[in-house]
Amino acid sequence: MSDQIRASHILVGHADAPQASSQLSAEDAMKQIESFKAQIEGGTPFEQVASDNSDCPSSRQGGDLGSFGRGAMVPAFDQAAFELEVGALSDVVETDFGYHIIYRTE
């Protein structure tokens, strides 16, 4: 495994996530993130779904977070991202920011 990877993500915050400013319920946020994952799996480009829907400022870059090393992200996100093969899409990952889908690009 590499010490540096590159990944993109989609974030949907919810009211129960300590670091999110969203008023969306956790249940509704989960429905949204699962819908976004289904769109991607159905052929919609990841970058388009991220640009149109992600709560993260990285949405302006199609969800691209750039390159990062181990420990740069919160633990659950870090673990999920580093376990992905290049070109793979994660299951839904929950952090203090909300729900994420991670797409490893390098």
- Please state the domain extents for the chain: 4-104
Q: What is the mean pLDDT of residues 27-53?
A: 98
CATH label, 4-104, candidates 3.10.50.40, 3.40.50.720, 3.30.390.10, 3.20.20.140: 3.10.50.40
pLDDT at 9: 98
pLDDT at 38: 98
The rounded Cα 5 to chain-centroid distance in angstroms is: 14
**For residue 80, is pLDDT > 60?**
yes
**For residue 71, is pLDDT > 90?**
yes
Predicted TM-score (pTM) of the model is 0.95
Q: Cα separation of 91 and 85, whole Å? A: 13
**The tokens of 41 are what?**
């799996």
pLDDT at 2: 62
Number of Cβ within a 10 Å radius of residue 96: 13
**Which residue, chain included where needed, has tokens 């992905």?**
84
For 13, left (φ over 0), alpha (ψ -120 to 50), or beta? beta
